[in-house]
């Protein structure tokens, strides 16, 4: 049997204080408790109200003489004095019986004497419905406390109503669904015209829905509090035919604790001063106290408009409400603030939405509602605008006063593109697919020639969309999710819906799961089960509250089942969010390597991976260097918010250098080069913070050094380059490179020749682009003095310009004092007799100083390489 808390705010009733909801609703066996936190007091929302019809002793019916009336500020907020002063309630009218399905009523309270009729104790029929909690007494005083008796407070409808106390809730403010339904049915069957339900639950219950329909069919108005969780409207207030009442603060602003949503009809003051158990009075708050204010005003209106049906009473209170927040209906305050004066003074309109004949005058109505209006003949059209919080299917039902009439129903998108058109007759329901956002509905008589007005009741209900993971109600239908961090949004779109998911974990790690909802109508439950093992259920929090867990996982299949604690015989309008964070946990294959003597050998060019289990963890590696080499150490894969330090040491563990990773995007990276002689070296890696969710990657590369260079090994000119480098005739570049195939510049050629031939004489240079500070100035000056190099006509030397092979040949010819030959055929196929250097090339080739390419060419205008230059130079030096 399910247990239900009363709606004094959002919790089970506690004696004494205000009805504030607990920070997390307390879970019971089924019906949710609305507030149960130590120190939190009862539930009871609403604004007390005072009755119309004053006794003959009252000189001014608008100003009752009850001494505590000054504390009932909520009466002024709903303009009760003006309503009393209107004198619209017939003096001889038969009292309206208002049933309170609650904790009972204090049957001996002096301010309620003469205002009670026989009630019923559902819990124990042999006992009277005596209140043992106080909540029902709070509600009763708002409606029916005796006016002008020079005692206590004034009730809103004291002279127009009688209270039928129905005790369906226990002393702690909770009960079960069956008792609640039984209490409502008893009230309907025993003469109650209005039933006040200052209680609620978060789930749609089929039996409760049947009782609600039973009451509507028998002309009984149900008035219910929306609840005080600051979340979704509770049931039974959420049913379309129940007048759902929320709360406002003394400044007519939506009370933040009052539930909101598409089911809310209107609001009334949240804070009241009312009768209390034991004959006293007290301040109370909550939507439990707002609902009876609306019920009392409805009772007053019914004494005036005795012909009205419940749907018309609902419409009257809606159309006479004081608009708050957004113009028209809104999900915070519904149609606005309850106005007792307007409800009794203003003329009832069969169609309160006019003018709404065009799309731009469409009236906003909620997606879960029941409204009444009228089509004034076949040419009249009624436009409505609905804003759906979700995609899904909108159930549209029309009840017509003319069973033979037919209504053309057309729905449109927000941009007024037609979605669906159909003709609907009495009692028919149309299913309309809708997207989240705005949908327009246009109503018109199916026969435009129709001359008679047709009154109708339009009932709408949203069924939420089917999530993309269906069907997954069974474990064998589990939807496969990738083993990664992700967010899944799902719904419970059909009866008894549960959703199964499966994760295939291939790498051990950490799995964190959060299950949350956007509505208190879902009490999420998470089941986590590794295949072949017993599952664990997580259900620590209450309605709408998040469930979460985090655990270490190992390779295998992990099943997740998402469900609602109470189950769901009907679809639930709301979404859940399943947030999954999967962090792989890598094992370090090199452990144990925390000490130098445990150092893992690392092969050049082969990457080692590792992790740091703790911040104190260190990883040692050993590298053997066979000969002089340039070592390149690369460390990647480090999280950007971590710093790994690399310490290089020799075989005696003497530190040679210490380096740290630097953040580059999402990674920490380290890249260094170090000259090492032959021997054994140790590398220690340490971290500031541990990490195992990803492995680092460490690689040591070795490039053998020949004559201090890494790029001449196996080059055709290797020996020449080595010999001339050792003689300091030529130098390399930074990073231990020589660039043997790179071009040699005019300045470099002058320097090499000067060193090789040891020229010492020089005159000052007058080249415009070779200042004294230029690195090759002395070499160029000596080469120029020797007649080997010269400048250009513009007085420049262009020291950084690469020389051609012909210029190289010319320099060497001058160094050898060769003037060139005139006789003989062309030396190379690409050098003609008229080429300026043909004679020099003839002589150098004939004397064996240079050769061309295998194809017989020389390429005189091609750039000369450093290796080519040195090869010819060495021949000359060794002549």
Write out 508-545 in H/E/C secondary structure. Answer: CEEEEEEEEECCCCCCEEEEEEECCCCCEEECCCCCCC
pLDDT band per the 50, 70, 90 thresholds, residue 325:
confident
Q: Are 289 and 278 in contact (CB under 8 A)?
A: no
Question: What's the rounded Cα separation, in Å, for the pair 676 and 671?
Answer: 16
**What share of the chain in percent tops pLDDT 90?**
81
Q: What is the pLDDT of residues 359-415, one digit of tens each?
A: 999 999 999 999 999 999 889 999 999 999 999 999 999 999 888 889 999 999 999
Q: Which residue has the tokens 């500070």?
A: 773
Q: Express each pLDDT in 181-220 by its tens digit.
A: 999 999 999 999 999 999 998 888 889 999 999 999 999 9
Containing structural domain, residue 630: 596-704
pLDDT at 798 over 60: yes
* Same domain? 80 vs 18: yes
- With 0-12 CB in 10 A as exposed, 13-18 as middle and 19+ as buried, what is 235? buried
Per DSSP, 145 falls in state P
The Cα-based distances of 745 to 339, 807, 840, 862, 864 in angstroms read 97, 11, 21, 13, 9
Q: What pLDDT, on a 0 to 100 scale, did the predictor assign at position 587?
A: 86
86, 135, 351, 493: which one is catalytic? 135
* Residue ending a domain, choose from 443, 464, 485: 464
Q: What is the pLDDT of residues 589-648, one digit of tens each?
A: 999 999 999 999 999 999 999 999 999 999 999 999 999 999 999 999 999 999 999 999
- Judge if 393 and 511 occupy the same domain: no
User: Do 753 and 794 sit in the same domain of this protein?
Assistant: yes
Residue 654 has pLDDT above 60, yes or no: yes
Residue with tokens 């020099």: 840
Question: Looking at residue 560, which CATH number applies to its domain?
Answer: 2.60.120.380
Q: At what angle do helices 805-815 and 746-757 cross, to 10 degrees?
A: 20
CA distances 299 to 294, 317, 631, 716, Å, are 9, 11, 93, 110
Task: Categorize the per-residue pLDDT at 24 as very low, low, confident or very high, splitting at 50, 70 and 90.
Answer: very low
H-assigned helices in 203-264: 206-217
Per the annotation, the verdict on 102 as an active-site residue is yes
What are the structure tokens assigned to 261, written together? 């949503």
Digit-coded pLDDT (tens) for 138-183? 999 999 999 999 999 999 999 899 999 999 999 999 888 899 999 9
Supply the pLDDT for residue 41. Answer: 27
- What pLDDT shows up at residue 247? 97
Structural domains of the chain, count: 5
Residues 317 and 281 in one domain: yes
Radius of gyration over every alpha carbon of the chain, rounded to an integer in angstroms: 47
Can you give the pTM of this predicted structure? 0.69
340 and 230 within one domain: yes
pLDDT band at 91; cut points 50, 70, 90: low
User: Mean per-residue pLDDT for 788-793?
Assistant: 94
Provide the 3-class DSSP secondary structure of residue 719. helix
Beta bridge partners of 454: 375
Domain assignment present for 711: no
Q: Are 770 and 795 in contact (CB under 8 A)?
A: no
In a domain, 173, yes or no: yes
Would you state the pLDDT for residue 31? Answer: 26
Residues near 274 by beta carbon (within 8 Å), at least 6 away in sequence = 46, 48, 138, 139, 141, 142, 145, 153, 281, 282, 284, 289
Of 569, 584, 616, the residue that ends a domain is 569
Answer yes or no: do 743 and 805 share one domain: yes
Q: Which of 102, 382, 497, 711 is catalytic?
A: 102
- Residues β-bridged to residue 517: 576
Clarify whether residues 318 and 370 are in a common domain.
no
Q: Render pLDDT for 59-69 as a digit per residue (tens, 0 to 9).
A: 577 789 999 99
Looking at the structure, do residues 390 and 526 belong to the same domain, yes or no?
Answer: no
pLDDT averaged over the chain? 90
788 and 861: one domain?
Answer: yes
How high is the pLDDT of residue 567? 63
Over residues 68-92, mean pLDDT: 86
Span between the terminal Cα atoms of the chain, in Å: 114
Looking at the domain assignment, is residue 60 inside a domain?
A: yes
Using the predicted structure, report yes or no on whether residue 524 has a pLDDT greater than 60: yes
Mean pLDDT of 835-857: 92
- Quick one: 736 and 774 in the same domain? yes
The CATH number given to whatever domain includes residue 286 is: 3.40.50.200
pLDDT of residue 593: 96
Give the pLDDT of residue 568: 62
- Let me know if 135 is a catalytic residue: yes
Smallest Cα–Cα separation from 803: which of 761, 864, 750?
864
Q: Is residue 499 part of a domain?
A: yes
Residue at a domain's end among 403, 434, 464: 464
Lowest average pLDDT, out of 132-141, 174-183, 796-805, goes to 174-183
Report whether 555 contacts 505 (CB < 8 A): yes
Residue 576 lies in a domain: no
**Is there a single domain that holds both residue 452 and residue 551?**
no
Distances, alpha carbon 168 to alpha carbons 115, 134, 178, 209, in Å: 20, 13, 9, 17
Q: Are 172 and 316 found together in one domain?
A: yes
Asked whether residue 643 is assigned to any structural domain, the reply reads: yes
* Residue 798: inside a domain: yes
Of the listed 288, 600, 629, 686, which one is catalytic?
A: 288
In the annotation, is 288 catalytic? yes
In a domain, residue 198? The reply is yes
pLDDT value at residue 823: 80
Per-residue pLDDT tens over the stretch 224-271? 999 999 999 999 999 999 999 999 999 999 999 999 999 999 999 999
């Amino acid at each position: 049997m399910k247990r239900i808390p009363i709606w004094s705010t959002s919790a089970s009733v506690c004696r004494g204080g205000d009805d504030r909801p607990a920070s997390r609703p307390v879970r019971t066996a089924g019906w949710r408790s609305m507030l149960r936190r130590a120190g939190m007091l009862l539930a009871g929302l609403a604004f007390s109200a005072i009755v119309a019809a004053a006794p003959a002793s009252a000189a001014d019916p608008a100003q009752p003489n009850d001494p505590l009336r000054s504390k009932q500020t909520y009466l002024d907020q709903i303009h009760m004095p003006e309503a009393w002063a209107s004198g619209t309630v017939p003096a001889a009218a038969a009292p309206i019986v208002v049933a309170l399905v609650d904790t009972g009523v204090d049957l001996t309270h002096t301010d309620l004497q003469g205002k009670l009729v026989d009630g019923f104790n559902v819990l124990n029929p042999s006992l009277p419905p005596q209140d043992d909690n106080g909540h029902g007494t709070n509600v009763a005083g708002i409606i029916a406390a005796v006016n002008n008796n020079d005692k206590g407070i004034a009730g809103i409808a004291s002279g127009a109503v009688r209270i039928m106390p129905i005790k369906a809730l226990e002393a702690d403010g909770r009960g079960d669904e069956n008792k609640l339904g039984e209490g409502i049915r008893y009230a309907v069957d025993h003469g109650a015209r209005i039933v006040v339900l200052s209680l609620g639950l978060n789930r749609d219950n089929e039996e409760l829905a049947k009782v609600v329909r039973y009451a509507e069919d028998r002309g009984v108005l149900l008035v219910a509090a929306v609840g005080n969780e600051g979340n979704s409207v509770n049931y039974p207030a959420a049913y379309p035919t129940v007048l759902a009442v929320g709360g406002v603060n003394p400044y007519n602003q939506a009370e933040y604790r009052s539930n909101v949503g598409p089911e809310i009809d209107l609001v009334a003051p949240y804070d009241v001063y009312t009768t209390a158990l034991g004959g006293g009075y007290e301040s109370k708050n909550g939507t439990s106290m707002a609902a009876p204010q609306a019920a009392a005003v409805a009772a007053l209106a019914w004494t005036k408009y005795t012909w009205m049906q419940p749907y018309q009473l609902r419409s009257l209170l809606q159309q006479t409400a004081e608009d708050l927040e957004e113009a028209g209906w809104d999900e915070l305050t519904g149609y606005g603030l309850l106005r007792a004066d307007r409800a009794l003074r203003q003329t009832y309109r069969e169609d309160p939405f006019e003018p709404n004949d065009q799309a731009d005058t469409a009236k906003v109505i909620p997606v879960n509602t029941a409204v009444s209006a009228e089509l004034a003949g076949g040419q009249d059209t009624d436009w409505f605008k609905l804003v759906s919080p979700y995609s899904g299917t909108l159930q549209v039902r029309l009840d017509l006063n003319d069973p033979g009439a037919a209504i053309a129903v057309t729905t449109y998108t927000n941009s007024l593109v037609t979605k669906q058109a159909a003709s609907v007759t009495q009692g028919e329901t149309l299913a309309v697919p809708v997207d989240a956002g705005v949908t327009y509905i246009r109503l018109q008589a199916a026969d435009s020639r129709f001359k008679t007005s047709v009154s109708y009741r339009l009932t709408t209900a949203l069924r939420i969309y089917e999530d993309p993971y269906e069907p997954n109600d069974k474990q064998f239908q589990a939807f496969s999710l990738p083993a990664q961090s992700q967010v899944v949004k799902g719904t419970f779109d059909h009866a008894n819906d549960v959703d199964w998911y499966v994760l295939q974990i291939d790498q051990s790690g950490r799995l964190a799961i959060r299950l949350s909802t956007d509505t208190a109508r879902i009490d999420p439950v998470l089941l986590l089960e590794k295949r072949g093992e017993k599952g664990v259920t997580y259900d620590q929090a209450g309605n709408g509250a998040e469930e979460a867990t985090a655990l270490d996982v190992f390779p295998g299949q992990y099943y997740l089942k998402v469900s609602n604690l109470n189950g769901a015989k009907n679809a639930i309008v709301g979404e859940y969010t399943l947030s999954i964070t999967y962090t792989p946990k890598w094992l370090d294959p090199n452990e144990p390597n925390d000490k130098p003597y445990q150092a893992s050998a690392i092969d050049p060019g082969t990457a080692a991976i590792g992790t740091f289990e703790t911040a104190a963890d260190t990883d040692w590696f050993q590298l053997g260097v066979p000969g002089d080499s340039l070592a390149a150490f690369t460390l990647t894969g480090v999280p950007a918010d971590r710093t790994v330090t690399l310490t290089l040491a020799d075989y005696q563990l003497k530190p040679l250098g210490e380096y740290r990773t630097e953040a580059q995007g999402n990674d920490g990276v380290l890249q260094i080069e170090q000259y090492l002689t032959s021997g054994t070296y140790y590398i220690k890696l340490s971290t500031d913070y541990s990490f195992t969710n990803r492995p680092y990657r460490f690689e040591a590369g070795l490039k053998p050094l020949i004559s201090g260079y890494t790029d001449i090994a196996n080059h055709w000119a290797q020996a020449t380059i080595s010999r001339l480098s050792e003689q300091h005739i030529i130098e390399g570049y930074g990073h231990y490179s020589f660039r043997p195939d790179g071009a040699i510049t005019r300045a470099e050629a002058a320097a090499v020749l000067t060193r090789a031939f040891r020229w010492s004489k020089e005159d000052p240079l007058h080249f415009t682009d070779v200042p004294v500070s230029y690195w090759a100035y002395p070499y160029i000056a000596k080469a120029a003095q020797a007649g080997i190099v010269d400048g250009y006509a513009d007085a420049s030397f262009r020291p950084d310009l690469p020389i051609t092979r012909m210029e190289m040949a010319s320099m060497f010819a001058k160094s050898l004092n060769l003037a060139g030959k005139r006789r003989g055929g062309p030396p190379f196929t690409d050098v003609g007799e008229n080429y300026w250097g043909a004679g020099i090339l003839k002589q150098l080739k004939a004397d064996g100083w240079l050769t061309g390419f295998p194809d017989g060419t020389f390429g005189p205008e091609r750039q000369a390489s450093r290796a080519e230059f040195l090869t010819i130079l060495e021949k000359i030096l060794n002549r």
